[in-house]
Structure 1
Amino acid sequence: MRKISFIIPNAWGQYLYQILFPIKDLVDGTWAVGCDVDEPYLQAWHNINGEMVDLFASGCYSNQEFFSLLGSRVYYIVSGKFSLTSPCKNRRNGLNPPCIEILVTDSVYVDVYAADEKMLFTLYDNAINQGFENIELDG
């Protein structure tokens, strides 16, 4: 998988939605929401009546549920790992690796991994259009 890296504002917003919205109708599957070995805590909140509440109540979401949640709330993400797996397994080895994976660390650093180059370049162009900083394409 190749990756793009960039920096998002350290602020409340809908940044995960802004990062991913160009592909929301191009992908399908299940989003796993959690953490990475190097970043052990999922930290993402939204504000309900002045109280900070976990943004993600579940560890898995359908594509529609995931984008609906991200597009309907203002939130703050400190860290997390968000992986989309396709509903179809690899016929050769029976595995189902993520087709997209997003890592957010320290509130601002974002790495997006994608198996599909067209999808990766769509997200790369979107990062530029959104005005995110320090955009790099690796791999």
Structure 2
Amino acid sequence: MRGISFEIPNTYGKYLFEILEGINIKEFTWKIGNGESYFIDNNQLGNSLFPTSCIFDGKKLYKEISKEDYYLIFVDLKGFTKKEDIRKVATYQEFIESECQFVLLIVDSSYVTIYSKDQVTLNHIFFKAVSVGYENIEYITDENDTRTTLIAF
């Protein structure tokens, strides 16, 4: 099992917080790649959720995704155990060969793809996705993985 894919509603909310709830995101250092996500301000798009291509410690990521609603268009999050291990991870092979432990990609506001080296984490997210009613939930395996890159945007 490589990962999980599913669809979230194309609306604003706290979907990153909801998806990652129950996972110790604070233990990772997060490389935030190019993306497009905005806080909601008076029912309109406001400030960017993330600066372009930056590094957050887990506590900062947790704080950002849990404080107020946002709208996700493209998201590229990669979790590393140590800041000094952060490097470019653009393919599944690079993911396997790196110290990157977790990849979360969102494309076109709805399509979520997650890769994790921890099978317990994948199962947790799978059953969480089922319980909250996300759609088209499936495990990603060696046989059905069609992604060529691990980059959202």
Question: TM-score scaled by structure 2?
Answer: 0.75
Residues 1:57 and 2:56 aligned together: no
In the alignment, what sits opposite 2:3? 3
- In the alignment, structure 2 segments of 5+ residues that lack a partner are 86-96, 142-153
In the alignment, what sits opposite 1:130? 132
Once superposed, what is the RMSD of the aligned Cα atoms? 2.2
- In the alignment, structure 1 segments of 5+ residues that lack a partner are 36-41
- What is the correspondence of 1:92-103 to structure 2 with a 5 Å cutoff? 96-103=98-105
Count residues with an aligned counterpart: 128
- Once residues 68 and 55 of structure 2 are traced to their aligned partners in structure 1, the CA distance between those partners, rounded to angstroms, is 18
In the alignment, what sits opposite 2:146? none
> Is the CA contact (8 Å cut-off) linking 1:22 and 1:126 kept in structure 2?
no
The alpha carbon displacement at 1:48 in A equals 3.7
Q: Aligned to 2:32, what secondary structure does the other structure show? A: strand
Structure 2: which amino acid aligns with 1:105?
V
In the alignment, what sits opposite 2:67? 72
In the alignment, what sits opposite 1:104? 106
Structure 2: which amino acid aligns with 1:53?
N
> Is the CA contact (8 Å cut-off) linking 2:29 and 2:83 kept in structure 1?
no
Q: Aligned to 1:113, what secondary structure does the other structure show? A: strand
Q: Percent identity?
A: 28
In the alignment, what sits opposite 2:122? 120
In the alignment, what sits opposite 2:36? 43
- Once residues 80 and 41 of structure 2 are traced to their aligned partners in structure 1, the CA distance between those partners, rounded to angstroms, is 30
> Is the CA contact (8 Å cut-off) linking 2:12 and 2:40 kept in structure 1?
no
Question: TM-score scaled by structure 1?
Answer: 0.82
Greater displacement, 1-10 / 106-115: 1-10
Structure 1 runs of 4+ aligned residues shifted over 3 Å read 48-51
